[in-house]
Amino acid sequence: MAGVTKPKVGRIEPLELVEAALSGRIRIPSFQRSYRWEASDSERLFDSILRGYPIGNLLMWRKPAPAAEITLGELRFDAPERSDALWVVDGQQRLTTLIGALTASEHTVDRRFRIFYDLREKDTRKRFLSAPHSRTVRDHWLPVWVAGDNKRLIAWQRERPWLTEEEYDLCDSVATAIRTYEIPVYEIEGDDEQALREIFDRMNTFGKALKKAEIFQALHSAPLDVQPSDLDALRERVGALGFGEFSPQLLVQSVMATRGGQVDRDFRQEFKDDEDRQQAFARTEKALRLVVDWLRDEAGIPHLRLLPYALYVPVLSRFAALFGRPTGRSSELLRRWIWRGAAVGAAPQGNTVALRRNAGAVHDDPVASATRVLGLLPVGGELWKPDLAQTAPNRTQAKINVLGLLSAHPVLLAPATDSDGNHYPAGTRLGGSRLLVDMLNSGSSPLRSLLPARTMAAKVLHPASRADFGSLSQEADPAVLRSHCMDERCVELLNAHTAESADGFLARRAAIMTGVISDHVQRMALFGFSDGPETETLFDDSIWGDDTDAA
């Protein structure tokens, strides 16, 4: 009777993990929410490695794996069939982070893999940091993918002759830690799944706990670590970005937009063969990564549920596929397009017509394309005002209201716990935590009622209910109150518990909230500002001639 052999216990260094992964031996099955870590988790992992702290064990199941095109982080490569493949049962988060970060580059989009060591940060607890693709990398930030390669590290140091002896020593310390850190590995061989499950139960104590059913279902199903060739695989890939659930229709539209032509043509007849389809899905996935990164960092949209119009995604996917991530003037104009469209309506002729027209306007040049889509919007946004009666989360104006509340950087009024079991004390900013993603992923409204009234003035953006944090104290920090569009007078009226005081609270808070939301929309949309190319381009020599011609 076959069973599980006694676990083979060993140790493996991070660079050995990378080598094993690139050889196709290590396989990471995709789960419904395959990669849950946040950038702060990645920073903490490398800080633990530098300090020599334990980061937990890896549990591997040795079983055959087919030849496949594998994705690890943002790295893709062809792996041969292996009879001795090691499937990750426990430790997927750590392993994905290590491999993704150590094989990253300056072109990597996902900030969870863009990890740097700040040679000049005085606080040793904050030296590891992640940086979004849009952020300028400081010259004294050592990328971990450079530190892991001796030749690249030497070249990096030679390009910086101004490094001090202390900074050279710090580089060596980071490099040595990455190269010599040992991770305990338990390797299981056999087919007694019950015994394997028992081992998993006893080991699954570090990091974000995964459901046992998810692990073993994924290990038995067809591996999804291959190039995305269908919508389900693409949905899981982009879903792992933590931006929300992309509908099949939105993914189809994005694929078609990246390929050009009519966005609403017949998807079933689109591809010449399997290779054509796989290339199209890979290109779309890359574009969507850039789009999500840009929407978060530049357009101020933290989640798909708060995106005012879904058509923005395929149009931006086409832009990213043609020109890369929006930057400079094109980024500025596209942000205006997002927010002006939210205020005045981005699809006055209907979504299908608007999608076709906007996607068709993206071609030739990034700034010209951004100018054209901006020109397709209705006029009149200068007169826009928030509609605080809109509180339903599926309404565009309600999304604008929620985004306006987020612009005030609301903090927790009571302790809360996210879906991964992380605890957040009162005073934690909601926008910088997983709590906001949890609220939006739940499908319900992220708003909680302070009073039984159908207006945003009666709502608060918060994971806990009114009952959980009780009456707001009149001694509350004014900054905390401002983060929820309130002041001391609002709290006084709220706690008076009379009909008149409730009306007074709603009126006072509505005035504050209207100002906050209006200011936020104007900052993002810039109604009344000149659009088109930047002013200095109007004086390009190719248009006006040079000084000698003028003379």
Provide the terminal-to-terminal Cα distance of the chain, rounded to the nearest Å: 96
Residue 336 reports pLDDT greater than 70: yes
pLDDT of 253? 93
Give yes or no for a contact between 378 and 348, defined as CB atoms under 8 angstroms apart.
Answer: yes
Strand locations in 109-216 (E): 115-118, 128-130, 141-143, 183-189
Mean pLDDT within 337-351: 89
pLDDT of 6? 67
Lowest mean pLDDT among 31-35, 265-269, 382-386, 417-421: 31-35
pLDDT of 376? 94
Question: pLDDT tens for residues 297-323?
Answer: 999 999 999 999 999 999 999 999 999
DSSP 458-489: GEEE-SS-HHHH-SPPTTS-HHHHHTTT--HH
95 CB-contact burial (10 Å; exposed 0-12 / middle 13-18 / buried 19+)? buried
| Mean per-residue pLDDT of the chain | 84
Q: What angle do CA 541, 543, 547 make, to 5 degrees?
A: 40
Mean pLDDT within 251-270: 86
Q: Which amino acid is at 473?
A: S
Read off φ and ψ for residue 332, nearest 5 degrees.
-60, -45
Question: pLDDT tens for residues 113-144?
Answer: 999 999 999 998 889 999 988 788 999 999 99
Lowest mean pLDDT among 168-182, 260-274, 491-505: 260-274
- The model's confidence at residue 387, banded by pLDDT at 50, 70 and 90, is very high
Lowest mean pLDDT among 22-31, 236-245, 508-517: 22-31
Q: Which has the closest alpha carbon to 196: 65, 60, 56?
A: 60
- The model's confidence at residue 224, banded by pLDDT at 50, 70 and 90, is very low
Question: pLDDT tens for residues 433-467?
Answer: 788 888 998 888 899 988 989 999 999 999 887 66
**Helix H or strand E encompassing 27:** strand 26-27
DSSP 226-251: S---SHHHHHHHHHTTTS-PPPHHHH
- Per-residue tokens: 521: 């929309």
Q: How far apart are CA 461 and CA 411, in angstroms?
A: 9
Q: How far apart are CA 171 and CA 146, in angstroms?
A: 10
pLDDT of 474? 63
pTM listed for this prediction: 0.72
Domain extents for the chain?
A: 8-220, 231-383, 396-415+423-525
Distances (CA, A) of 417 to 37, 281, 402, 412: 16, 36, 21, 11
Give yes or no for a contact between 308 and 341, defined as CB atoms under 8 angstroms apart.
Answer: yes
pLDDT of 27? 85
Q: How far apart are CA 457 and CA 442, in angstroms?
A: 23
Greater pLDDT, 210 or 315: 315
CB contact set of 83 (below 8 Å; sequence gap of 6+): 64
- Per-residue tokens: 287: 């574009």
Q: Which amino acid is at 352?
A: T
- Per-residue tokens: 141: 């930030």
Residue 549 reports pLDDT greater than 80: no
User: Which residue(s) pair with 85 in the sheet?
Assistant: none
pLDDT of 91? 85
Q: How far apart are CA 332 and CA 526, in angstroms?
A: 10
Q: Which amino acid is at 341?
A: G
Lowest mean pLDDT among 20-24, 143-147, 207-211, 278-282: 207-211
Q: Which has the closest alpha carbon to 464: 519, 425, 509?
A: 425
- The model's confidence at residue 200, banded by pLDDT at 50, 70 and 90, is low
